[in-house]
Amino acid sequence: MSDFLELGLDATYAQKTSDDWYTPPWVFEGLGVTFDLDVCAPIGGLPWVPAQRSLSILDDGLLQEWTGRVWMNPPYSEPLPWVNKFITHNNGICLTPTSQGKWMLEVWASQAGWLMLPPMRFVFADLTIAKNTLPNRCWLIAMGEENIETLRSSGLGYVR
């Protein structure tokens, strides 16, 4: 219960799928920007994600038009179609794990800015905070000069 209180939430936001690993609030605090659209949000969104609107699994963000600056923490079970749409949209920031998948090579070959995050603990679907960090590091990837500059000025790490 203390994890819920730490986030200022209750369990009403919870969903139960293996892809529901939410970005911790400190990432958004570091970025210091508001997004126009969260394209992979849980139903109802999350109160600490600074997005004007959000798309959930019910909206199928892959089928919707993306407008403005997007935030994306894609489902890690199948990130390739999400990453391809993110590259094409060319205006946003996303969180991805380190991977040997084809999708990571496609982003690497793009004009994206990359920032490796320190080890992090995700927030789970039941809104508890993970007790351990992931074994692999995660990246913030920015498309578009304004978003790359946001990474540079965030204080979260070095940008390639």
pLDDT at 5: 41
Q: Kindly report, residue by residue over 2-37, the tens digit of the pLDDT.
A: 343 444 444 444 444 566 778 999 999 999 999 999
Q: Using CA atoms, how far apart are residues 80 and 32, in angstroms rounded to an integer?
A: 27
- Structure token pair of residue 10: 């209750």
Average per-residue pLDDT for the chain: 84
Q: Which two tokens stand for residue 95?
A: 């969180």
The whole-angstrom separation of Cα 96 and Cα 156 is 15
Q: What percentage of the chain carries pLDDT values higher than 70?
A: 82
Residue 154 near residue 54 (C-beta atoms within 8 A): no
pTM for this predicted structure = 0.83
Q: What pLDDT shows up at residue 133? A: 60
What does CATH list as the number for 2-152?
3.40.50
Where are the chain's structural domains?
Answer: 2-152
Cβ atoms of residues 156 and 30 within 8 Å = yes
Of the ranges 18-32, 62-76, 134-148, which is most confident? 62-76
Query: Does 85 have pLDDT greater than 80?
Result: yes
pLDDT confidence band for 70 (50 / 70 / 90): very high
